[in-house]
Amino acid sequence: MRFFGYLILFALIGYALWPYYTVYRLDAAINQQDASQLAELVDLQAIRANYKKRVASGADAIFPSGDPDSVMNWIRQNLERLGDAALDQAVTLPWVHKTLRDAVTRATGQSPPYLLAGIGFAFFESYHRFLIRIGDLGQGPTHLRLSLVDGHWKITDIVP
């Protein structure tokens, strides 16, 4: 019985350390000149979806959804369509690479950027979400959200 207790304890410790290993891999990927090594650590569709949610909530504040036949509703629908196309073009792997490098450089002042030196906070939000803050609060930090996707920790949101 004691053996199973230790086995469960080691499994929990391993699970708790797993996203930190991904952060270490992310640090190595950011220091590369190309973004190819970063590809396996990023879920671009999830990042685009999160940006789309933020844009849509902003559009709701400016163009409230009321009468479906109104001009405001027509403008809102066109903004949503244009926004989707713009996000697909703007949120790419090179953009993620550049955004992360710029955030780390801004937080540390180092070139080449070292992610581990720029992290102000890194811990679990829930069992399948991990939050990383690059920089200090009040100094314009960048937040990364890692999520457990298909058995791998991947970046699913970036909030500069």
Q: What is the structure's pLDDT at 86?
A: 76
Cβ within 8 Å of residue 125, ≥6 positions away: 131, 145
54-80 pLDDT per residue, tens: 877 765 555 566 666 666 666 666 667
Q: What is the mean pLDDT of residues 76-93?
A: 77
CB 109 within 8 A of CB 102: no
What is the C-alpha separation between 113 and 102, in angstroms, rounded? 8
pLDDT beyond 90 at 84: no
pLDDT beyond 90 at 34: no
What are the φ/ψ torsions at residue 110 (nearest 5 degrees)? -100, 145
Cβ within 8 Å of residue 141, ≥6 positions away: 103, 107, 120, 133, 134, 135
Domain boundaries defined on the chain: 17-159
Q: What is the structure's pLDDT at 90?
A: 86
Q: What is the structure's pLDDT at 89?
A: 85
Q: What is the structure's pLDDT at 126?
A: 96
What is the C-alpha separation between 159 and 10, in angstroms, rounded? 33
Q: What is the mean pLDDT of residues 6-32?
A: 96
Entry pTM: 0.85
Q: What is the mean pLDDT of residues 24-37?
A: 92
With bands split at pLDDT 50, 70 and 90, how would you rate the model's confidence at 157?
very high
What is the C-alpha separation between 69 and 78, in angstroms, rounded? 13
Cβ within 8 Å of residue 51, ≥6 positions away: 87, 91
Of 26, 13, 11, 17, give the one whose Cα is nearest residue 142.
26
Q: What is the structure's pLDDT at 29?
A: 95
CB 104 within 8 A of CB 30: yes
pLDDT beyond 70 at 52: yes
User: N- to C-terminal Cα distance for the chain?
Assistant: 48
Q: What is the structure's pLDDT at 38?
A: 95
Helix, strand, or coil (residue 64): coil
97-155 pLDDT per residue, tens: 999 999 999 999 988 889 999 999 999 999 999 999 999 998 889 999 999 999 999 99
